[in-house]
Structure 1
Amino acid sequence: MHVAAVLKRKGTDIVTVRPDEPIAAVARTLAERRIGAALVVDGGAPAGILSERDIVRGVAKHGSAVLQQPASALMTRDLVTCQPTDTVAQVMAVMSERRIRHLPVMDGERLAGVISIGDVVKARLDDAELEVESLRGYVAGIG
Structure 2
Amino acid sequence: MAQRVRDVMTANPWAVGPDTPAHQVATIMRDESVKAVVVTDDGRLRGLVTDRDLTVRILADGGDVSARTVVEACGAELASVAPEDDVDRALTLMYAKELRHLPVIDNGRTVGIIALRDLGVEAGPGFGLDAPGVADSMA
TM-score, scaled relative to structure 2:
0.77
User: What's 1:102 paired with?
Assistant: 101
- Give 1:64 shift: 4.9
* Residue correspondence of structure 1 range 10-49 to structure 2 within 5 A: 11-49=10-48
Name segments (4+ residues, structure 1) moved above 6 Å.
Answer: none
Structure 1 residue 98, shift from structure 2 partner = 0.5
CA RMSD of aligned residues (A): 1.6
Q: Secondary structure at the match of 1:78?
A: coil
Q: What are structure 1's unaligned runs of at least 5 residues?
A: 123-143
Does 1:86 pair with 2:88?
no
- Deviation larger for 36-45 or 11-20: 11-20
For 2:115, the equivalent position in structure 1 comes to 116
Residue 132 of structure 1: aligned partner: none
**% identical equivalent positions:** 28
Q: TM-score, normalised by structure 1?
A: 0.75
2:137 corresponds to which residue? none
The answer for the alignment partner of 2:7 in structure 1 is 5
TM-superposed CA distance for 1:67, in Å, is 4.2
Aligned residues: 118
**Local SS of the residue matching 1:80:** coil
Task: Please give the alpha-carbon distance, in whole angstroms, between the structure 2 residues aligned to 1:109 and 1:27.
Answer: 26
Gaps of 5+ in 2: 122-139
Shift of 1:66: 2.8
